[in-house]
Amino acid sequence: MSAQRRAGPSVTLLVVWAVWGAFSAAALLAARSGPNIPVGQDWRMVSAVTGHEPEAVHWLWHQDGNDRHPAGRAITVAVISAARDFRAASVLAVLGLVALSGLLIRASRRARGGVRLADIFFPAILLQPATRDLAPSVLLMSVIPLALGGIILLAVLSDPTLRTRRWSLLTALSMVTLPLTGLAGILVAAAAAPWMAACGWRHWPPREQGVPTDAGPALLSFIFVAIVVTGMVFSDYDFSGWSDPALDRGRLVLRTGSALAGALGPLAAGRWELVAGILTGLVAATCMVLVVAGHRAHDAERYRTLGLACMLAAGWLAVMMSAWGFAALLLCVVFHVWERYGRPVASVAVQAGLLVAGLAVVPANLEAMRRQRAEVSSAALALARDVAAGLPRDSIAARYQPLLMPGGGAADLAGGIALVSDARIGLLGQLPAGSSGR
């Protein structure tokens, strides 16, 4: 009887996964709520989703400000087109964050041989309500490089020398795809490359039993491919809009600090100086712990410390590019570093502090999201009534431009509404064909 009890799941394990399930369910419900209409930057996807983009390859490769993200655009268009629902991009993004938080809980459990309540930190930070206030397409294109970086982090934790074909392939594909997800993805791939190169050099020729004979050359080849892909991204890049961050330290500090605090939502963003200062100190202390651990480590564990150091650098560089999602991943790296190499008392204190911070901001973030959703829902109900009444497209565009295309023009919005309406997608697809007002 006692042996059977010991074999069963612990209360802590059930609590951790129950909280993960609650965060996941709430995030998915929020992603699925609201009307099926394009909002904000979703309109940039409309021509491709409705099949009216004459040069699809050029559109995928088009430079958007300082970024190029053909992989993100392709996945976003494919998801929306398949589902005939603009909200599908949010759902896929949330599913990626749900999976990543669950896998990080699993990795933490394996590292220590059991779960702790502190592991609730992963869903608390990755599934914060504040992360779902973006337009669906923007959210998905932000989560894609984050998920790829998360795969590399999981590889570092699970297979620090990339001995297995599974983790080698997942890491290699992530490295090659990251440059196609924007500047933050390029920086993450560049920061992770030294660890992957060290693993490739270790396995060329193979020194361990069970390692595939082609492991070393394959890993190094994929790094070369990632470099080539990065070169393609910058082949005809327009640098005219760039300003050197090194010449504007105030802007760089503001951007980095705001992105760091953004991981905890609008409440922390309003006090970004304090929050960013605390988190920067924590990251600096984590670097010191890693340096000491790397000096003492041997064999495979030394590769793990190198990989974690690379992921710390990757997260920090991405945060400097205002990639808010990587601030959350950066804190996940910090959590695992203290889990593996911190002194017991310090480790518990850091993890508990991260957990408390992640949970403390949830009520304020929920309230902020509730207020925003209430405003959008009220406007969406009015839009639904006008659509049902057969209001012309031009009138819809003029009346609802602040909701549907903030910062855009009514004429551009009217053209987009025509495409969505003719394609019969979502609420705007219920407008009468060819309805226009003059």
Across the range 386-415, mean pLDDT stands at 86
What is the rounded average pLDDT for all residues in the chain? 88
Which is more confidently placed, 248 or 290?
290
Give the structural domain span for 173: 16-366
**Angle of CA points 55, 177, 240, to nearest 5°:** 60
Tokens of 17: 């996964």
Whether 9 is in a domain gets the answer no
Least confident of 27-36, 189-198, 340-349: 27-36
Of 207-216, 324-333, 345-354, give the range with the top mean pLDDT.
Answer: 345-354
pLDDT at residue number 437: 44
Band the pLDDT of 407: cuts 50, 70, 90. Answer: confident
| Cβ contact 329:153 at 8 Å | yes
Give the model's confidence band at 294: pLDDT under 50 very low, under 70 low, under 90 confident, else very high.
very high
Residue at 178 is within a domain: yes
Average pLDDT over residues 366-384: 84
Q: Is residue 229 assigned to a domain?
A: yes
- The verdict on residue 11 lying in a domain is no
Q: Which residue has the higher pLDDT, 371 or 18?
A: 18
In a domain, 424, yes or no: no
6 domain residue, yes or no:
no
pLDDT higher than 50, residue 72:
yes
- pLDDT score recorded for residue 7: 46
Look at the block and give the residue holding tokens 């600090």: 257
In a domain, 65, yes or no: yes
Q: Is 433 among the domain residues?
A: no
What's the average model confidence in pLDDT over 331-340?
95
Question: pLDDT tier at 130 (50, 70, 90 boundaries)?
Answer: low
pLDDT-derived band at 434 (thresholds 50, 70, 90) equals: low
Query: Cβ–Cβ contacts within 10 Å for residue 75, how many?
Result: 17
Q: Structural domain tally of the chain?
A: 1
